[in-house]
Every structure is written in C-alpha cells, then in structure tokens.
Structure 1
Amino acid sequence: MKFAVITDIHGNMDALSEVLRDIDRRGDIDYIYNLGDVIGIGHNTNEVLGMITSRNDITSIAGNHDKAIMSVINNTPYPEDLKDKFYEHHHWVAEHLNPQYYEFLNTLPREFTLDLLGQSVLGIHYEIENAKLEDTIDQIPFSPIVEPSAEHMKTLFADKDADVILFGHNHTLHHFINEDTVYFNPGSVGLNRAPYTVYGIVTITPEQSNIEQVRVAYDNTRFIDGFEVKEVPGRALIFDKFIQ
C-alpha cells in the first residue's frame, strides 16, 4: 500500500497543482490523505477547494485555519489565540468563500485511523488530547507546538496509539522513530520560503513503513503577486512569518 500525504495547502493553488501533478505522474500511489489547513493565509480559496473536492482519491481532515474560518461563516465564537493575527484575514477569506464548500468544511473530521497490512496509522492536523477531540475551535483544542525531536513527539502524542502518526500544522519536516512509533510531518504544501512545494509518500508493508519527503520546484510568482493584486488583509504578517 503506497499513499501520499499532503498538508497545509493554505490556499496555494499553484503549489497544490504541482503536487497533484507529481503524484499522478508516478502512477503507483493508491490514495492521498490531506491533513488540514486547506484554506487560510493564501488567497486561492475556492480554487484549492475545487481541486480537493473534485477528486475521489483524497480523504481530508480539519486544520485550525479551516475551523476558524468556518466559525466566521457560522457566526460561532472565534478562537482568541488567532484574533491578533488572522481575524481580519479570516473574515476576508470567509467573504470570498463559495457557499458550495460550506458543508465540506463544516463536516471535516479531526482525525482518521487506518489498519493497513497490520500497521495502524493515525492522521491528525496536530495533537489534540483525546478528551478535547470534540472541542470547538474557540476552545483551542490543538496542543502548543513543540520543537522537532523524537522525544518531544513521544511526549506530545503520548495519548495516541498507532504505529505511524501523520500530522502537519507547523510547516516543518518531522521524521522520527521512537520505539515502535513513526512520526511524520511532510511539511507544508503551500507555504515555503522558496519556490518549491513538498509532500510525503508512505509505503506500508506487513513488516514496516517506509516514508519519504518529496520536494517539487514550482513557479510561485503568481501566488506571491496575488497578495498585492487582491489586497489580502494581513499580508505583511503572512510574508514575514511564512513566505519571505
């Protein structure tokens, strides 16, 4: 069983197009798992959602930006930890979001589990304690980000039981093995500080899991220029923290 892992697309249509093209070109990838933050920060909201929802080989889960934007749409409490960073930006995304995607975003689960050839796999945007899995986004269910290390991953995901734990959220490659558990974050599809995009390939056999990060070059000019052309709110913070 060989599948791709994508995460943190963040409204970047050009990066996602290149990733999907590379996956399809390989011809031996059975499925794609999308670990959340499909929208927010980037400005190609509907284009990205159209690409994800038009395929029948992608399973998606929710990220914090997905849920925060939908809290604006649904007029439910907005998370306090994002108010000083993304409040205006998320309202802008919500104003431009096609209503045809409301149901898709509102029904995204928080996690998925798989049993593949005797290997258990968990996918989650980032650690949420089991007792908080049903918490709304304003209750800030996601755990604080920790520095990448095998020991930190073991502590962070201490309440999770799986042979392979797949996650995203902090846009940084993680590939650690601690005792019998593999922890893998392929990095962000949409937000990198250079003209490339990344995703992961996981191969499961009865004996083990093999994991690799794939880096693909692409022209990010249109994505970068679009922030000024569309006058995206919060673009100064976005460029400082995520792009340049």
Structure 2
Amino acid sequence: MKFAVITDVHGNYDALETVLDDIDRRGDIDKIYNLGDNIGVGHETNKVLDDIFDRDDMEIISGNHDEAIMALVNGTPYPEDLKGKFYEHHQWIQQHLDEDYYDKLNNLPRVIEQTICGKKVLVIHYEIPNDKLDDTIDLQPFSPIETATEANMQSLFEDKNADLILFGHNHTVHLFDDKEKIYFNPGSVGLNNGPNAVYGIVTIDEKGIDIERVKVAYDNEEFLRGFDEKQVPGKQLIFDKFI
C-alpha cells in the first residue's frame, strides 16, 4: 500500500491544492491520511474544507485548532492555553465557517489505527496520553510539544503500540526509527516558512516501510495578501510565529 500523509493545512487553500495536485499527478497513491488542523491560522477555511471533504480517498482526524474552533461553535469551554493567542482569531474563523461543516468537524476522530501489510499504523495529530483520549479540548489533552529528537519521540509516544506513528502539530519534519517504532511528521502543508508546501509518502509492503518527504513550490502571495484584505485578527502573531 502506498499512501500520502498531509497535516496542518491551517486554512491555506493554495498550499493544499498544490499538494493534492502533486499527489493526483503521481497516479499511484492509494489513500491520503489527513492529520488535522485544517482550519485556523490561515483564512481560507471553507475552500479548504470543500476540498478535503469532497474526496473519497482521504481519511481525516481532528487537530487542536479544529477542536478549539468547534468549541466556540458548540458553546462549550474553550482551552485556556489558547485564549491569549488565538481566541479572537478563532472567533473570526467561527464566524466565517460554513454551517454545513459543523457536523463533519464535530464527528472527526482523534485517532486512526490500521494494520497494513502486517504493520500497525497509528494516525494522531500529536500525542494524547491514553487516559486523556476522551478529554474535551478545554482539558488540554494534547501533550506539550517536544523538541524533535529520537529520544523525545520514544518518551512522548511510549504508551502507543504501533510500528509506525504518523503525527503533525509541530510544523517541523520528524523522521526517527528506533527499530521498534518509526515516528514521522512530514511538516505543515500550509505553514512551511515560505512558498513551499510539504507532505509525506509512505509505502508499506512485505519488505517493510519506506518513507519519502516531498516539497513542492507554490505561489503564496494571494494567501499572504488575504490577511490584510480580510482583516484577519491575530495577523502579527501569526506572521511572527508561523509564516
């Protein structure tokens, strides 16, 4: 089986389209795993959701930004750790979110577990301890981000039983193989520090697991202009921290 891994689109439609076009051009990708944070930070919310929910070859999980925005939609508690950073921005996203996507976003799983060619594959946005997998987003179930080292990934995901762990959240590439587990984060599709979008390709067969990280160039000028044109709240923080 050969599949693509995308994560952290963050409302960047042009980057997403570039990645999906590249995947489709190859013609040999069986499935796409989407690891969450499709909305928030960027401003092209509904265009991104139109694309991902329109595909029948994509399996999608939720990310922390997706869940925080849906907490505002649902009138449930909002996570304290995001209040000083993204509250007004997430309110803006909520106000522009098409109601047709409420149920779809609310029903996204946090975890996908599959066995492919005898290998156990875990798909998760970032580590959530097993005893917190059912905690609501206001309880801050996602673990703090760890520096990208093999030892840190071993410790972070020590409670997870898998041969391959696919994750996102931290927008930098991770690829570690400790002989028991492979840890792979291809990096953010939508927030990759410049006019490039990234994703991963994983091949699993009787020989084992092969992983490739793909970088594709795209024109990010329209995406950047949109923050001013749409008067997106939190622009300065977003540009300082993510773009």
TM range (shorter): over 0.9
Report SS of the residue matched to 1:29: coil
The aligned residue for residue 155 of structure 1 is: 155
User: Partners in 2 of 1:8 and 1:194 — Cα distance?
Assistant: 15
1:89 aligns with 2:89: yes
* CA deviation vs aligned residue, 1:151-199 (integer Å, no higher than 9, x gap): 1100000000100000000100000001221000000000021110000
* TM-score scaled by length of structure 1: 0.99
User: Partners in 2 of 1:99 and 1:206 — Cα distance?
Assistant: 44
The aligned residue for residue 139 of structure 1 is: 139
User: Partners in 1 of 2:169 and 2:210 — Cα distance?
Assistant: 22
User: Partners in 1 of 2:46 and 2:78 — Cα distance?
Assistant: 22
Specify the code of the residue in structure 2 equivalent to 1:27: G
User: Partners in 2 of 1:111 and 1:215 — Cα distance?
Assistant: 26
Root-mean-square deviation (CA, aligned residues, Å) is 0.5
The aligned residue for residue 4 of structure 1 is: 4
The aligned residue for residue 217 of structure 1 is: 217
Q: Say if 1:168 and 1:188, in contact at 8 Å, map to a contact too.
A: yes
The aligned residue for residue 114 of structure 1 is: 114
User: Partners in 1 of 2:125 and 2:4 — Cα distance?
Assistant: 15
The aligned residue for residue 173 of structure 2 is: 173
User: Partners in 2 of 1:23 and 1:215 — Cα distance?
Assistant: 11
Report SS of the residue matched to 1:240: helix
Which 4+ residue blocks in structure 1 deviate beyond 2 angstroms? Answer: none
Q: Say if 1:119 and 1:206, in contact at 8 Å, map to a contact too.
A: no
The aligned residue for residue 127 of structure 1 is: 127
Q: How many residues align?
A: 243
The aligned residue for residue 185 of structure 1 is: 185
Q: CA deviation at 1:118?
A: 0.4
The aligned residue for residue 26 of structure 1 is: 26
Match runs of 1:37-56 below 5 Å: 37-56=37-56
User: Partners in 2 of 1:114 and 1:207 — Cα distance?
Assistant: 18
* TM-score scaled by length of structure 2: 0.99
User: Partners in 2 of 1:16 and 1:161 — Cα distance?
Assistant: 30
Matched residues, percent identical?
A: 63
Report SS of the residue matched to 1:238: helix
Report SS of the residue matched to 1:123: strand
User: Partners in 1 of 2:8 and 2:75 — Cα distance?
Assistant: 24
Report SS of the residue matched to 2:242: helix
Report SS of the residue matched to 2:5: strand
The aligned residue for residue 16 of structure 1 is: 16
Specify the code of the residue in structure 2 equivalent to 1:163: D
